[in-house]
């Protein structure tokens, strides 16, 4: 019986040793995988930041060009711009007036 218990104890020690070795090898593999995933994530984030910066610059450039075009048109045709502003104000006022009843309260 003593031999059986010693054999069982030796087997349990061997199993614990095997599990420990497996976990250590697994840990190094996981650490390597995590490191690679982290580096990949950082690279993807940097790419996204670069693309966002390029998109932002393009949009700002287009907005500047549009503003310059409107400014130039307004300077060349001031009466047309004044007329357009008057029409826009009339339409906005008409829309607000339709929402109000005769006592200045909004209709449901």
Helices (H), the chain: 2-76, 78-99
Taking only the tens place, the pLDDT of each residue in 52-89 is 999 999 999 999 999 999 899 889 989 998 999 999 99
Taking only the tens place, the pLDDT of each residue in 4-23 is 767 767 777 888 777 777 77
pTM: 0.46
**What are the two backbone dihedrals, phi and then psi, of residue 100, each rounded to the nearest 5 degrees?**
-100, 145
**What are the two backbone dihedrals, phi and then psi, of residue 5, each rounded to the nearest 5 degrees?**
-70, -35
Neighbours of 81 (CB within 10 A): 14
Q: Is the pLDDT of residue 1 over 60?
A: no
């Amino acid at each position: 019986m003593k031999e059986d218990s010693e054999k069982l104890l030796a087997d349990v020690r061997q199993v614990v040793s095997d599990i420990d070795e497996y976990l250590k090898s697994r840990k190094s593999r996981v650490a390597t995988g995590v490191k690679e995933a982290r580096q990949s994530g950082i690279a993807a984030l940097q790419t996204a930041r670069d693309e966002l910066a390029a998109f932002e610059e393009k949009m700002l450039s287009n907005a500047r060009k549009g503003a310059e075009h409107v400014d130039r048109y307004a300077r060349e045709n001031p009466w047309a711009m004044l007329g357009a502003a008057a029409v826009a104000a009339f339409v906005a006022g008409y829309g607000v007036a339709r929402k109000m009843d005769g006592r200045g309260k909004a209709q449901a």
